[in-house]
Amino acid sequence: MKFLPHFDLSRKSFWKTLLVAVFLVSGPLYASEEELGVSGKISGISVAERFIEVNTIQYKVPLQAELQDVSSTVPKMVNIADLKVGQYVEFQAIGNIVKSLSAFEALPE
């Protein structure tokens, strides 16, 4: 009957190991959801797939993202089809998903 106490001990260590593994995996997943400020020139646009490429990274532009052109004195709302390659943008993103974006014709001062 020495096997039974050993089995109970291994079951406890199994659950402890599983708990530690869950914490190790969930930490990076939670950290990847933080909001980032990104700025740079648009190097590629896919209107059909709703992607823009800035600084060699593709970002998804969902329909609910707030897009503004602030090139003139009065900012105006735009859609992804109004953006152009070479335009300077600043935006907030969570992961690779754009939340709000401001587009400029030239670098802002």
pLDDT of 41 reads 93
Kindly state the average pLDDT of the residues 48-73.
91
CB–CB of 81/47 below 8 Å?
Answer: yes
Q: For residues 103 and 85, what is the distance between their CA atoms, to the nearest angstrom?
A: 11
CB–CB of 14/7 below 8 Å?
Answer: no
Per-residue pLDDT of 43-54, as tens digits, reads 999 999 999 999
pLDDT band at 109 (very low <50, low <70, confident <90, very high): low
Distance of CA 102 to the CA centre of its chain: 17
The more confident residue out of 77 and 10 is 77
CB–CB of 87/74 below 8 Å?
Answer: no
pLDDT of 91 reads 93
Residue partners of 4: CB distance under 8 A and separation at least 6: none
Distance of CA 94 to the CA centre of its chain: 3
pLDDT of 73 reads 82
N- to C-terminal Cα separation, the chain? 79
pLDDT value at 17 more than 80: no
